[in-house]
Amino acid sequence: MFDEEGYRKLFVEESRENHENIVSNLLALESGDDQQTAIDEIFRSAHTLKGMSASMGFDAMEHLCHSMEDIFSLIRSGQREVTASLTDLLLTCTDTIEEMLDTIEAGGTPSDEQSGGLVQELRVFTEDAPGEAPVEAIPFEAAGTADGRPLYSLSVAVDPSSTMKDVRAMLLLQNLESIGTILSTTPSREAIEDGKFDGLFEVLIESEAGEDALRTVASGTEISLLALTAASSPAVLPVETREVRPHEAVQEPRVTKAEKNREIKNIRVDIERLDRMMNLVEDLVINRGRLEQIAKKHGIKEFDEALSMVGRSVSDLQNLMMGVRMMPLERIFNRLPRVVRDVANHDGKEVELVIEGGETELDRGMMDGLSDPLLHLIRNGVNHGIETPEIREACGKPRKGSLRLTARRDKDNVVIEIEDDGAGIDPERLRTKGIEKGLMTPDAAATATKDELINLLFEPGFSTAETITDISGRGVGLDVVKKTIESLKGTIKVDSSMGVGTKFELVLPPTMAIIDVMMVHINSMRCAIPISNVVEVAQTRPEAVHRIGTSETILLRDQILPMHRLEDMFGRAQKSDTLVVLQNNGRRCCIVVDTVDGQQEVVVKPLSRLAGNCRGISGITIPGDGDVVPVLDVNTMI
C-alpha cells in the first residue's frame, strides 16, 4: 500500500471540504434557490467522499456516503422529493461524517456502529421508490447538435503565474460563449469556476465562427491554447457525464504529467509556528527601539544609516507577518447558516440568513475569540429577535424573518453587524426587569433613557426571554459576549426599534498585537494609553475641579467629566494640571498625569496567567529602553 499517514492528512482535508459542500448545499436546497445546482453539488461531493473513503479502506464511511449518493441519484432523476424529514436525516448523516472524519484525523478508523442505523434509515427512503429502477439517464446535452453546427474541442492552459486561474478560465468560457455554445467542459464548469482544476481544461464547443475566431478568443491574457481540433460527432461527448454515473468504479488514476510537475505555490504552516514567528518579530521591534535609543546617545552617522535600513526591514517584516496572520471572516461565518437553520427549526421560525463581507480579514488570534460571541448573537437573533411566522404575518411582515450578518473594514477597524427584522427590544420590559433583578432602583428606572435600559442587556444575570431555551440559553449571557469582545479590544453596541428589529454592532481592531499608544508619566511612573481611546490632552486649574460625593469631576468645554487620579495604581500625581481625556464607547472621562511623553507604536504583550486578571491593565509593553510599561485598559475605567 501507500504511505498511509501522508494520505490520511490529505484525505481528511479534502473530505472536510466535501463535507462542508454537502452541508451548505443541503441548506441551500432547503432555502429553495437553485435546487438543481445544489442537488448536483451534493451528489458530486457524496460521490467523491465515497470514492476517497473506499480508497482508504474506511468502509463504514463509504457505506454511508454511498447511501447518500443513492438518494441523490433518485432525487436528481425526479423520483424522490426533498422533504424536511429527509433533509434532517441527511444533516444527521453529515454530522456522522464529521465525527468519522474526526476519528480518522485522530488516527482511528470509523466503525459501522457510527453509521449503521443511518444507512438503514436511508435505505427506507431508497427502497420505497416507485416501481421503475433507478434510471441513469443523463440528458444528453448535445441534443442541439442535430442541426449540424460544427463542433470543436479545445484544450486550454491557464498561465501558472495567473493570480486567479478560475476567474481567468471563467472569462475565457464567457468569451467563448459569445461566439458559440459550450456543450461541456472537463473538469465540469462548476469545478473550474471554483478553482478546482490544475490550470488545464478542455472545452467542447459548437460554433459557426470558425477556427480562427476560436483561436483568437482562446489566446487571451494568461491563456494559451494547447490544441484545437474539430470534433466530428457528439459521440465524443460524455466526458463529463462519466463522473456522475452512480455505482461506477470509484477513482481513476488521473495523475497526468502536468499534475506531477505542477509547482507548489502554497504551503500550509502550523499556526504555532506562525505565532512563534510573530513573537520573534515583536522582539525585533522592541530591540529596534532599544538600538534607536542607543544610537541617539552616540550620534554615529554610519550607524544611524545602517539602523534605519534595519528599521525599514523590520517594519516590512512586521507588516508581512500581520498580513500572513490575517484570515477571512468566512472561516467562522461558514458555520453560521447551519446554526440558524437548527435554531429556526427548533423554534418553528422561518429565517433567512444573509451574509455579506465574509472576505473581510481579521487576525487569526482574534478569530478564535470572536467565534463564540458571534454564535451567541446569531442564536439570539433567531431565538429572541425574530417572531414566529404567525405573529409576523399578523404584524404585516413577511413570514420569513431576515437575519443579516455583515462585515466590513472601516478605517482602522473591522465592523461586524448582526441585524434582525424581528420584534425589537421593548424598553418598558427592560425597565420592569431591571427593577426586578435589582439592577436599578425604581427611581433610576423611571428616569432611565432608552440607551441606559438597553445597556442593562449587558449586565450579568440579565435575560429578557421569559424562559431560557435549551438553544440560546446556555448559561452564557450578553454580559459574557460583551466581556469577550472587550477583551479583544473591541466594542459592542446595540440599537433596537420596537417592531422593526435589533442591530448589534461589533467594532474590532483587525489585530491586537501592535497598537499606537500615548506614553505618559503618572507619579513618575510610565504608563501607555491606547491612542484610540485618547480624545485630547488638556490643562486645568484647581478651581475647575469639583467634588460630587466621593468622586471628582471637572468642567471642560461645557462638559462635565468624571476625573480619576489612579492613585490606587500609581500613587498620587505630583502636579495635577495635565489631563488626558479618554473615551470609550461614546463615554468620556479624564485622568490626571504628570507629563505626556509622546506617541509611539508598541507591541502589547498579554499579562501572564500568573499575574491573574489585573483590572485596569490590559497588558504590558516594552518600549525601546527596555522598561516594562503597563498599558491602560480604558474599557474597565469608564
Partner 1 sequence: MGRILIVDDTMFMRTLLKNILFSGGHDIVGEAADGAEALARYQELKPDLVTMDVVMPKVNGIEALKAIKAADPAAKVIMCTAVGQEQMVKLAVKSGARGYIVKPFQAPKVLEEVKSVLSA
Quote the CA–CA distance of 472 and 403 in Å, as a whole number. 16
Question: Residue 472 has which C-alpha cell?
Answer: 440560546
Site for partner 1 in 365-384 (CB under 8 A): none
CA distance readout (Å), 298 to 284, 288, 294, 472, 622: 21, 15, 7, 63, 22
* Buried b or exposed e, range 167-192, using 16+ CB within 10 angstroms: ebbeebbeebeeebbbbbbbbbbebb
Secondary structure percentages of the chain, helix, strand, coil, to 5:
45, 25, 30
Instruction: Give the binding range for partner 1 (CB under 8 A) out of 5-13, 102-110, 160-168, 337-345.
Output: 160-168
Residue 224 in contact with partner 1, rule: CB under 8 A? no
Residue 210 engages partner 1 in binding (rule: CB under 8 A) = no
* Residue of 21, 380, 383, 533 marked active site: 380
Q: Which of 344, 348, 416, 329 is nearest to 381 (CA)?
A: 344
Residue 322 as a binder of partner 1 (CB under 8 A): the answer is no
Residue from 340, 334, 355 nearest 404 by CA = 355
Rg (CA), the chain: 31
Q: What's the rounded Cα separation, in Å, for the pair 282 and 279?
A: 5
The count of chain residues that interact with partner 1, using the rule CB under 8 A, is 17
- CB 371 within 8 Å of CB 332: yes
Q: Look at strands 587-593 and 559-564 and give their pairing.
A: parallel
CB-nearer residue toward partner 1: 166 or 479: 166
Minimum CB separation of residue 221 from partner 1 in Å reads 5
Among 95, 121, 193, 352, binds partner 1 (CB under 8 A): 193
Q: Which is nearer to partner 1, 213 or 239 (CB)?
A: 213
Burial of 316 (0-12, 13-18, 19+ CB in 10 A): exposed
Is 182 a binding residue for partner 1 by CB under 8 A? The answer is: no
Instruction: Check 62, 69, 417, 486 and give the catalytic one.
Output: 69
Provide the minimum distance between the beta carbon of 26 and partner 1 in the complex, in angstroms, as a whole number.
21
The binder of partner 1 chosen from 79, 103, 155, 175 (CB under 8 A): 175
Looking at the Cβ atoms of 288 and 335, the one nearer to partner 1 is 335
Among 33, 78, 137, 163, binds partner 1 (CB under 8 A): 163
- Is 247 a catalytic site residue? no
Shortest distance in whole angstroms from residue 328 CB to partner 1: 7
Minimum CB distance to partner 1, residue 167 (Å): 5
Q: Which is nearer to partner 1, 195 or 398 (CB)?
A: 195
Q: Residue 232 is which amino acid?
A: S
Work out whether 167 is an interface residue with partner 1 (CB under 8 A): yes
Q: Cα separation of 556 and 194, whole Å?
A: 59
597 binds partner 1 per the rule CB under 8 A: no
Stretch of residues binding partner 1 (CB under 8 A), selected from 105-113, 169-177, 257-265, 601-609 = 169-177
What's the min distance (Å) between Cβ of 385 and partner 1? Answer: 28
CA gap 216, 209 in Å, rounded: 11
Rounded CA separation 444/455 (Å): 14
Q: Is 359 in the site for partner 1 (CB under 8 A)?
A: yes
47 flagged as catalytic? yes
**In the range 327-346, which residues lie near partner 1 by CB under 8 A?**
328
Q: Check binding of 174 to partner 1 (CB under 8 A).
A: yes
Residue 9: enclosing H or E segment and its boundaries?
Answer: helix 4-31
For partner 1, give the closer residue by CB, 83 or 221: 221
Sole binder of partner 1 in the list 62, 282, 347, 361 (CB under 8 A): 361
Range in contact with partner 1 (rule: CB under 8 A) among 358-366, 496-504, 521-529, 536-544: 358-366
**Choice between 175 and 487, CB closer to partner 1:** 175
Cα 10 from Cα 196, distance rounded (Å): 15
Distance CA 206, CA 231 (A): 9
Q: Which of 22, 142, 217, 382 binds partner 1 (CB under 8 A)?
A: 217
> Which entry of 47, 63, 66, 376 is annotated as an active-site residue?
47
Q: Choose between 507 and 534: whose C-beta lies nearer to partner 1.
A: 507
Q: Is 221 or 559 the residue whose CB approaches partner 1 more closely?
A: 221
Listed residue (338, 310, 322, 334) closest to 26, CA to CA: 338
Closest listed residue to residue 520, CA positions, set 500, 534, 541 = 534
Q: Is 455 designated active site?
A: no
- Find out whether 582 and 538 touch, Cβ atoms under 8 Å: no
Residues 34, 92, 136, 164: which binds partner 1 (CB under 8 A)?
164
Q: Does 171 bind partner 1 (CB under 8 A)?
A: yes
Which residues carry out catalysis? Answer: 47, 69, 380
Footprint on this chain of partner 1 (rule: CB under 8 A): 163-164, 166-167, 170-171, 174-175, 193, 195, 217, 220-221, 328, 358-359, 361
